[in-house]
Amino acid sequence: MEFIQAAFSGPNLLFTIFLLLMFLYWIMVIFGALDLGFLNVDADADADIDLDADADADMHLDLEGDADIGDGGFLDGFLAFFYIGTIPFMVLLSVLALCMWSISILANWYLNPGGSVIVGFPIALGNVIVSVLICKVICFPLARFFAMFRKDYNAPRAVLGRIGRVITTEISTGRMGQVEVSTDGAPIVLNAVTDGSHVFHKGDEVVIVKKEETKGVYTVAPVNLEE
């Protein structure tokens, strides 16, 4: 009873409710009411964009480097640091909730035995910071575990020299498009630009000749070099 009273006391109440919500979520997952992807955040900077091939969407590239494809800056770094997008978001929240609740119970038990909300507030602030860092450490092996399931094993190890088909309206000078490359499994879609001397239209076959590593964009050329 003393433990239950401590868990639902003022300084610990929010963290206890947070943990109980996570327990409720996992119970619903077990019974099939929710899935593991609930509230997932997609932070995969290299994810292919699913464009409507019939839509004439102008995607002009500044080839002088004014726009860096895949460069999300601080936000991408923040998401990657805390494995958001690699580990299911609800798994991260569950680990964080358990860390916060455990630290809150222990810290208030020893540092705030009277259950004062005023004393508990700075403890709670410190708890959030410490719990986030502990969550980062705990989730390190989980990130590698979930990364194995995100890997596309149907994707070819190398696409240079392979034949693809243009699936967007046009690929021309200063205008990026997309090329679909067939595999034994699901086809893969690549962001592509021309070498500057050719224009390709939807349905044209092209050969992948080069990749710009920094931007993840491929250069394509005609299959028949005499064209």
Rounded average pLDDT over 203-213: 86
Taking the model in full, what pTM does it have?
Answer: 0.56
120-171: pLDDT as tens digits: 999 999 999 999 999 999 999 888 887 776 555 444 457 788 889 999 888 8
Q: Which residues pair with 84 in a beta bridge?
A: 87
Largest CA distance in the chain: 85
**DSSP strand pairing (200-201 vs 170-171):** antiparallel
Q: What are the structural domain ranges in the chain?
A: 2-41+84-150, 48-69+155-227
- Distance between CA 162 and CA 59 in Å, rounded? 24
80-136: pLDDT as tens digits: 888 887 888 889 999 999 999 999 999 999 999 888 989 999 999 999 999 999 999
13-25: pLDDT as tens digits: 999 999 999 999 9
Fold (topology level) of 48-69+155-227: OB fold (Dihydrolipoamide Acetyltransferase, E2P) (2.40.50)
